[in-house]
């Protein structure tokens, strides 16, 4: 076998093309050739050609009915596409790899592939990344592997925060809390709830933050936990308009144990006018009384 990758590719192509003399494609040899060519290209740093070779190799493995190897080759192709910087193709290739993994019946690597894809494209195509993360999370949840999903949830939240979609970020955090609850990971759950409250406060939606806190307080353990207490102090500080207290709480160690993105939000609290909240609540009470009569 010659080590020149071009020659290998040519040979493999010949093996697979159906002609008069060849009635059935010899996929085994072709795949071997493609793999060797791809490795050679990768060493030579010819990423485009390497990627193509990997794709062909993957197709060959598929034909040989070994989806696992096919998926592996697809992943390598996608990694090379990342080197080139062709983001759409990266996403596509990783998706294809994930589907092949699902064919094998292995959800974990499938979700891993989607996660890698999302991480690769989140800087350039954040919406695509969001979609990829969501798909990855659903794959794991279907398979009852909630705990693996935590990291994906956190990454998803970070992307949302970067996109400044705070309600979505808070929703993602609450879903994380739910997943943590299912696997009784109380620490992560409470940290997720506190993070959601902080996100709401950062978006200056104090009502939503209060509602969120009340919902989360249904879980008695949260009320008594460190994070719950910090949350309640934040809410009360907001309703009293005590800026110093908010700043002090933001520096506290409880918040420093949360996710990086959330810590950054926390340090920037309070956003906007804090004193206005008090007047708003008083007004609200007046209306309520009228309604009751």
Partner 1 sequence: MSVIDILTRVDAICNKYDKYDVEKQKNLNVSGDDAFARGYAAVDAEIEAALEKAELASKEKSKASIVALNAELRRTKAKLLEEVPKLQRLAIKKVKGLSTEDFAARNDLVLALPDRIQAIPDGSAAAAKQPGGWGPSASHTEIKFDSDGRFDDEYFQESEQSNQFRQEHETRKRRQDQGLEMISEGLDTLKNMAHDMNEELDRQVPLADEIDSKVDKAASDLKNTNVRLKHTVTQLRSSRNFCIDIVLLIVILGIAAYLYNVLKK
* Least Å from the CB of residue 265 to partner 1: 19
Q: Residues with Cβ < 8 Å from 155, sequence gap 6 or more?
A: 115, 118, 119, 122, 133
Determine which residue in the list 257, 264, 268, 278 makes contact with partner 1, applying CB under 8 A. 257
* Least Å from the CB of residue 181 to partner 1: 13
Binding of partner 1 by 254 (CB under 8 A): yes
Q: Report the distance separating Cα 41 and Cα 49, nearest Å.
A: 6
Determine which residue in the list 148, 152, 198, 261 makes contact with partner 1, applying CB under 8 A. 148
Please, is 206 exposed, middle or buried when counting C-beta atoms within 10 Å of its C-beta (0-12, 13-18, 19+)? Answer: buried
**What is the three-class DSSP state of 204?**
coil
Binding of partner 1 by 248 (CB under 8 A): no
Q: Which is nearer to partner 1, 33 or 188 (CB)?
A: 188
8 Å CB contact between 217 and 228: yes
Binding segment for partner 1 (CB under 8 A), chosen from 61-69, 180-188, 206-214, 283-291, is 180-188
Binding of partner 1 by 76 (CB under 8 A): no
Of 64, 77, 75, 80, nearest to 106 (Cα)?
75
Binding of partner 1 by 217 (CB under 8 A): no
Binding of partner 1 by 183 (CB under 8 A): yes
Tokens of 229: 């207490």
Please, is 21 exposed, middle or buried when counting C-beta atoms within 10 Å of its C-beta (0-12, 13-18, 19+)? Answer: exposed
Binding of partner 1 by 138 (CB under 8 A): no
Binding of partner 1 by 98 (CB under 8 A): no
* Sites of contact with partner 1 (CB under 8 A): 147-148, 183-185, 187-188, 226, 253-254, 257
């Amino acid at each position: 076998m010659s080590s020149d990758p071009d020659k290998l590719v040519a040979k493999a192509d010949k093996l697979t093309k159906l002609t008069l003399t060849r009635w059935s494609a010899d996929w085994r040899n072709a795949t071997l050739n493609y793999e060797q060519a791809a490795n050679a290209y990768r060493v030579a740093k010819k990423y485009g050609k390497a990627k193509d070779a990997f794709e062909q190799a993957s197709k060959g493995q598929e034909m040989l009915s070994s989806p696992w190897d096919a998926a592996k080759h697809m992943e390598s192709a996608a990694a090379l596409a990342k080197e080139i910087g062709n983001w759409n193709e990266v996403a596509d290739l990783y998706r294809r790899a994930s589907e092949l993994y699902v064919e094998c019946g292995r959800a974990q690597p499938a979700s891993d592939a989607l996660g890698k894809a999302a991480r690769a494209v989140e800087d350039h195509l954040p919406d695509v990344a969001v979609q990829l993360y969501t798909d990855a999370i659903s794959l794991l949840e279907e398979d009852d592997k909630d705990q693996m999903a935590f990291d994906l949830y956190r990454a998803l939240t970070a992307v949302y925060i970067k996109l400044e979609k705070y309600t979505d970020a808070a929703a993602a955090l609450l879903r994380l809390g739910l997943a943590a609850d299912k696997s009784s990971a109380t620490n992560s759950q409470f940290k997720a709830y506190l993070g959601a409250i902080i996100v709401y406060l950062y978006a200056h939606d104090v009502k939503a933050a209060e509602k969120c806190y009340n919902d989360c307080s249904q879980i008695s353990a949260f009320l008594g936990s460190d994070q719950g207490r910090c949350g309640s102090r934040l809410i009360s500080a907001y309703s009293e308009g005590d800026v110093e207290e908010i700043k002090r709480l933001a520096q506290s160690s409880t918040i420093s144990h949360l996710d990086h993105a959330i810590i950054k939000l926390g340090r920037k609290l309070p956003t906007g006018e804090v004193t206005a909240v008090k007047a708003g609540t008083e007004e609200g009470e007046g209306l309520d009384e009228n309604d009751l009569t």
